[in-house]
Structure 1
């Protein structure tokens, strides 16, 4: 029986292919590319988050579509990709924000929260029995100034003046 040489790398989350790729992370990125678009714009007065909440069937209740979430008084998140994965990360972000308020008696900095979420996401690229999150987040907020970050399924974090995630990202930008 002949097995394709890439097949083992395709199934193992913690094994790099010979050309240095983690296929499960690439699949998670593909889920984001198929998600509805979300846009973030950082201005001097704040950050704007826009999402596509298009109703794809008349049977869907429009109020049930959530794509923008409040994390703390000064932080919001827009998502694209797998909805259930996004909800888990939103819950994690809210938990991190609450812990920071309890421990330090002050709101969490936007960048600190973004780094904590990316560290959490990155852990899911290293261990067996789990998979990378098939969602990207735009984390937006104002602390000492307005800030906008994008999280990647790999756990990478990038800061932006403006960006988009989801389907047709390049067209939107």
Structure 2
């Protein structure tokens, strides 16, 4: 009981390390990220791919209101997993920093530079009393000086560079799939295929164009491009990943059962 009370004391203080060197609130923020639906990034020789699971829980919800891929600048895209409101704050911060860089230096901001500015901002919320950490992780992808880059931001404020990664739900399983199938010399189209196959590997009943979001930033023109439903459907059809009507019905049944049993959905998390 005494040990439990001691841990609770460190839980309440975001700026206080536990005796074993842990910040419990940062660790809890990482758990919030795991509750979000999956987002995947793949860096290829020809550019960067972002793919997200954006399935909605109710047919009454407007699809356009579910945002998991964002354009930060002409050459940079960001995907998120975790608390939606926290993600929105960091996306807005990223866009402001990109615009400030253009006004101040008359040039596009570098992907690494933007990532470190975001993580510096995130890290401040692990040292300030009275504020909690951001319960969201971002994937920042883009092309700078002809080089594709893919970064992850962590709730602790640490930036990581990746060749391919996944954040959100089923991160471990998706990462295993990426590690087994990733090829540094793959084309951008092959990168889209890998991201979709990785997403499908943990999905029940295949994928639908409405439930998937894809964006690419090619090296050739360094322009952020988000695929339309028709373009996404073409990829899914070519890869034989399209969900059938029977699969959709099964998935709906599973979703209804889960909701009835748990009834713990949190609308602030992009589940």
What TM-score bracket applies, with the shorter chain setting the length? over 0.9
1:72 paired residue number: 73
Deviation at 1:60, TM superposition (A): 1.1
Deviation at 1:38, TM superposition (A): 0.2
Deviation at 1:62, TM superposition (A): 1.1
How big is each residue's C-alpha offset from its partner over 1:122-150, in whole Å with a ceiling of 9 and x where there is no partner?
00000101110000000000012000000
Deviation at 1:7, TM superposition (A): 1.2
The runs of 4+ residues in structure 1 deviating greater than 6 Å are none
The residue matched to 2:98 in structure 1 has which SS?
Answer: helix
The residue matched to 1:4 in structure 2 has which SS?
Answer: helix
Deviation at 1:57, TM superposition (A): 1.2
How big is each residue's C-alpha offset from its partner over 1:109-132, in whole Å with a ceiling of 9 and x where there is no partner?
000000000000000000101110
Q: TM-score under structure 1 normalisation? A: 0.98
Quick one: distance in 1 between partners of 2:99 and 2:64? 26
Q: TM-score under structure 2 normalisation? A: 0.63
Structure 2: which 5+ runs fail to align? 176-271
Alignment of 1:64-103 (within 5 A): 64-103=65-104
Quick one: distance in 2 between partners of 1:129 and 1:81? 21
Quick one: distance in 1 between partners of 2:162 and 2:84? 23
Structure with the larger strand share: 1
1:150 paired residue number: 152
Q: How many residues align?
A: 173
Quick one: distance in 2 between partners of 1:89 and 1:22? 21
Alignment RMSD (CA, Å): 1.2
Structure 1: which 5+ runs fail to align? none
Quick one: distance in 2 between partners of 1:171 and 1:10? 30
1:41 paired residue number: 42
